[in-house]
């Protein structure tokens, strides 16, 4: 089961907003990084975010269907074939194709200007004055304008260069958009007050510190499952696929009913991963399989049905630690838990529900 603490999400939001000293535009794309976009949006509504950020029209429609009325910005380019759906859901689109924008703006759609200052992914190139003029001619003054840092978590000095490029674009616009935003989670965790209109946190809301963070957000998730089998193995016996782990003596192995199909990475044991059973840390042994994970419980009391925590607030089990041991990005670890885990939301949110992810 994947338990999501919505109270912790709210606390992280408050801390990020206090640090930024401007309103926030929380990113709930990827089903809130795998933790439940509707539930997260509902719990953040009382904090009056500027808008919610998603990656597709479908994600925006899901929030609208759940009763979210606040502005929703779609940050991935949307093709004209989806304009009707986007308009029906009253979504704000990030567009950098003048022809597409002309169609969207002609139907009364709201938009934001994405400026590419070095990511080379989407948006209008900061050097392309002609294209930016064409966009403003096609859509009028946008509701907002933004750029995206490419290395805030690994090269903080790069943010200065990107901001200088972005500021040049904003200064050249005939009318300044009402909402200018730049900072992502890595930037907010390093800096003090923003000099823009709002900030755009994502993964930090969900309890993960990225880059040279000055403080750590509160852990949000717990991933656990029961012990479904116990067995004693002999010296020299191997565990799991590839026989990558071999017993150096008589050992007791617990099989836990959770695997990589539930979002727990396959190669955890090779990175020295541990789990917690009955408040004691135990090593994960052998390759994680699709549906089951094995732990060495020789030195701790353990019975069938005992709950084993594989991810949680313990320093060795937090998302960043799990990602390091699995040689993956923490973003991959979080979003990878959408596959099969039963998701349970707890905390003082307006609507608390349990759903199957």
Hey, which residues are catalytic here? 29, 241
Q: Report the C-alpha gap between 333 and 262 in whole angstroms.
A: 11
The burial class, CB within 10 Å (0-12 / 13-18 / 19+), for 151 is middle
Q: Report the C-alpha gap between 115 and 210 in whole angstroms.
A: 23
Q: Report the C-alpha gap between 224 and 65 in whole angstroms.
A: 30
Cα 186 to Cα 29, 33, 296, 345: the distances in Å are 17, 16, 36, 26
What count of Cα atoms within 13 Å lies in the side-chain half-sphere of residue 293?
30
As given in the structure block, the two tokens for residue 249 are: 């003596």
Q: Report the C-alpha gap between 46 and 66 in whole angstroms.
A: 16
Q: Where are the beta strands (DSSP E) in the chain?
A: 2-5, 52-54, 72-74, 92-94, 111-116, 124-125, 144-146, 179-181, 221-233, 238-239, 245-246, 251-256, 274-277, 280-285, 293-296, 307-311, 342-346, 354-356
> Any idea what DSSP says for residue 131?
H
Alpha helices in 126-220 (DSSP H): 129-139, 157-172, 185-190
Alpha helices in 92-184 (DSSP H): 98-106, 129-139, 157-172
Q: Report the C-alpha gap between 234 and 307 in whole angstroms.
A: 25
Whether 296 contacts 253, CB under 8 Å: yes
Q: Report the C-alpha gap between 223 and 1 in whole angstroms.
A: 6
């Amino acid at each position: 089961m994947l338990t999501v603490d919505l109270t912790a999400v709210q606390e992280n939001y408050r801390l990020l907003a206090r640090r930024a000293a401007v309103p926030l535009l929380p990113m709930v794309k990827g089903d809130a990084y795998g933790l439940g976009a509707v539930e997260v949006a509902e719990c953040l509504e009382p904090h009056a975010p500027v808008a919610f950020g998603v990656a597709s029209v479908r994600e925006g429609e899901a929030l609208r269907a759940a009763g979210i009325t606040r502005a929703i910005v779609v940050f991935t380019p949307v093709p004209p074939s989806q304009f009707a759906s986007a308009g029906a859901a009253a979504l704000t689109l990030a567009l950098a194709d003048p022809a597409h924008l002309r169609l969207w703006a002609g139907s009364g759609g709201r938009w934001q200007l994405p400026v590419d200052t070095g990511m080379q992914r989407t948006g209008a190139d900061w050097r392309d004055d002609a294209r930016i003029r064409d966009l403003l001619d096609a859509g009028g003054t946008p509701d907002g304008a933004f750029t995206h840092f490419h290395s805030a978590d690994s090269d903080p000095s790069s943010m200065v260069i990107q901001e200088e490029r972005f500021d040049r674009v904003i200064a050249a616009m005939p009318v300044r958009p009402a909402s200018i935003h730049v900072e992502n989670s890595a930037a907010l965790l390093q800096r003090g007050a923003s000099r823009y209109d709002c900030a755009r946190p994502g993964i930090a809301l969900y309890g993960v510190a990225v880059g040279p963070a000055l403080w750590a957000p509160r852990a949000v998730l717990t991933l656990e499952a029961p012990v479904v089998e116990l067995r004693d193995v002999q010296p020299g016996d191997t565990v799991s696929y590839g026989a990558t782990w071999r017993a150096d003596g008589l050992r007791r192995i617990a099989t836990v009913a959770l695997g990589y199909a539930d979002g727990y990475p396959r190669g955890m044991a090779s990175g020295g991963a541990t789990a917690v059973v009955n408040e004691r840390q135990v090593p994960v042994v052998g390759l994680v399989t699709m549906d089951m994970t094995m732990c060495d419980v020789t030195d701790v009391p353990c019975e069938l049905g005992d709950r084993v925590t594989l991810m949680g607030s313990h320093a060795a089990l937090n998302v960043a630690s799990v990602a390091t041991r699995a040689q993956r990005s923490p973003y991959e670890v979080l979003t990878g838990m959408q596959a099969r885990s039963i998701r349970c939301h707890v905390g003082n949110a307006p609507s608390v529900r349990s759903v199957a992810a």
